[in-house]
Structure 1
Amino acid sequence: MVFTGFGDAAVDFYEGLEADNSKAYWTDHKHLYESHVREPMRDLLADLEPEFGPGRIFRPHRDVRFAADKRPYKVQCGATAGPHYVQVSADGIMVAVGYYAMVPAQVARFRAAVDDERHGPELAAIVDGLDDDGFTIAGDRLKTRPRGTDPEHPRIDLLRHRSLYAWCSWPPSEELHTEALAERVATTWRRLDPLGRWLDEHVGVDLDDGAEKARRRR
């Protein structure tokens, strides 16, 4: 085991970045990000890799070219391993599994599978079970039903989705700074895995469309 917890300054670093999202703050505190956030996140992914596959950490800079929000830095450190996602921020830890975004071809496959009586009920049961266990079911959704869809379709709520993931979060605690956090993340990913497997099997990734991003929580 490599991961020993996030650094003691991780939460304080992000609280400060939320208050002062500037290059000056980032430059003055970058060493805290590297040692208390980024390096522990790398260690966490390394510990989880044997079971969940290799992970990647999102870059800390925001793409503000077409965004109304011009803050230059993300106020969380997020990482993925396939459809699995984990992030640390001033709010603590967030863990999720699913497809945060889907390109049109993926949405088409998703809706076809949801509509299919062999596969759709399986997803509905997975989502209902996660909801019963206290996970939040999220994703981009149409306000109305997809064009041509029967308004009485038994899985109309799922058919509205243009992306789908489930998540939960934990506020900052002493656990954040201990090796025990790795097992808690792993246990949560295991519980969420049926959703990830269903999406991987019936939706998948379109590499030609740049849809590797569609597997990411954020």
Structure 2
Amino acid sequence: MAGTFSGFGQKAIPFLKALDFHQNREWFQENRDLFESELREPLGNLVETLSERFGAVGLGLRGDRKKSLFRINRDVRFSKDKRPYTTHVSAILSPDGTKMEQGVFFFHLGLDACFAAVAWWQPETAMLQAMRRAIETRPEQFRKLVAVLKKGKLELGTQGAMKRMPRGFEHVADADLAAAIRNRHFVVRQDVEPTSIHTPELADILLDFVIRARPLLDWGRAIQGTAVLPPQN
């Protein structure tokens, strides 16, 4: 492992605030060393520390500083917002270590929020259909998942949920099942206390979160094994 996580730098958030104010390439290039030392290098260390620790407890999630970190540069080609930089850093750990897989861990540190998530985010149509069908046909199993997550102080998010029932599921009458079937994503999230980002204990906090969120990973993986998915490129 290239580096053990010891915390983000004390100037991490001030750097993002300054970047939000300046938003130009000249300023960023002049302060790139600060970005690397306070944010990007610690994020790479966090990813590799978590990859090792997730592997040690069999979570099936991995990553590295080359593949897992998202760029701070914004893609402005098709956006009215032409600001060149985001005001956050983020990374993903997945079953194969790339950003293309489902059933992942995501970490976000920014001016807007600091949080971690375990997610099946925008799954392929076949996978989403299989997840919805599993809720419909095996409600006891799904309710057990919800109860276990609740015991771990987690609950499924509803971001982006459909207002109407998807076709083929209109007959589902139970309110809890209907609400779950309308989901486009299956996600649990935990906010991270800003002061903790500067300490090595952040890795412990995130490991604990993913262990509590593991039932969602296991539920989705069991369904994934039965869903007919298109081949990966």
Does 2:149 align with 1:145? no
Q: Which runs of 5+ in 2 are unaligned?
A: 55-60, 95-103
Summarize the alignment of residues 38-77 of structure 1 with structure 2, pairs less than 5 Å apart: 38-52=40-54, 53-55=61-63, 56-77=68-89
Question: Paired residue for 1:3?
Answer: 5
Which residue type is aligned with residue 93 of structure 2?
Answer: A
| Alpha-carbon distance in structure 1 between the residues aligned to 2:148 and 2:220 | 16
Q: Residues 1-218 of structure 1 correspond to what in structure 2 (within 5 A)?
A: 2-52=4-54, 53-55=61-63, 56-82=68-94, 83-91=104-112, 93-117=114-138, 120-131=139-150, 133=153, 135=155, 137-149=157-169, 150-153=171-174, 155-173=177-195, 175-203=196-224, 206=229, 208=231
Kept in 2: contact 1:92–1:171 (CA 8 A):
no
In the TM superposition, what whole-angstrom CA distance separates every residue of 1:175-207 from its partner, at most 9, and x where no partner exists? 321111111111111111111221222137957
Describe the shift of the 1:131–1:27 C-alpha distance in structure 2 as closer, same or farther (beyond 3 A).
farther
Query: Which moves more between the two structures, 96-105 or 127-136?
Result: 127-136
Q: 1:85 is paired with a residue of what secondary structure? A: strand
Give yes or no for contact 2:146–2:156 (8 Å, CA) kept in 1: no
User: 8 Å contact 1:136–1:168 — kept in the other structure?
Assistant: no
**Which protein has greater RCO, CA pairs closer than 8 Å, 6+ apart?**
1
CA RMSD of the aligned region, Å?
2.5
Q: How many residues align?
A: 207
- In the superposition, relative to structure 1, how do residues 189 and 152 fare at CA in structure 2: closer, same or farther (>3 Å)? same
* Cα separation, 1, equivalents of 2:154 and 2:185: 20
Whether contact under 8 Å (1:5, 1:178) holds in the other structure is: yes
Gaps of 5+ in 1: 211-218
Alpha-carbon distance change, 68 to 131 in structure 1, aligned in 2, over 3 angstroms:
farther
Shift of 1:28: 2.6
Q: Distance in 1 between matches of 2:75 and 2:124?
A: 19
The SS at the match of 2:74 is coil
Deviation of 1:79 (Å): 0.9
CA gap of 1:160–1:19, structure 2 versus 1, over 3 A, is: same
Alignment-mate amino acid for residue 74 of structure 1:
T
Change (3 A) 1:197 1:68: farther
Deviation at 1:141, TM superposition (A): 1.3
Secondary structure at the aligned position of 1:144 is classed as coil
Describe the shift of the 1:7–1:162 C-alpha distance in structure 2 as closer, same or farther (beyond 3 A): same
Question: Residues 30 and 125 of structure 1: is their aligned pair in 2 closer, same or farther, counting only changes over 3 Å?
Answer: farther
Instruction: List, as ranges, runs of 4+ consecutive aligned residues in structure 1 with deviation greater than 6 Å.
Output: none
Is the 8 Å Cα contact of residues 80 and 86 (structure 1) preserved in structure 2?
yes
- 1:21–1:114 distance in 2 versus 1, CA, 3 Å: farther
8 A Cα contact 1:137 1:166, kept in partner: yes
Give the TM-score, by structure 1 length.
0.82
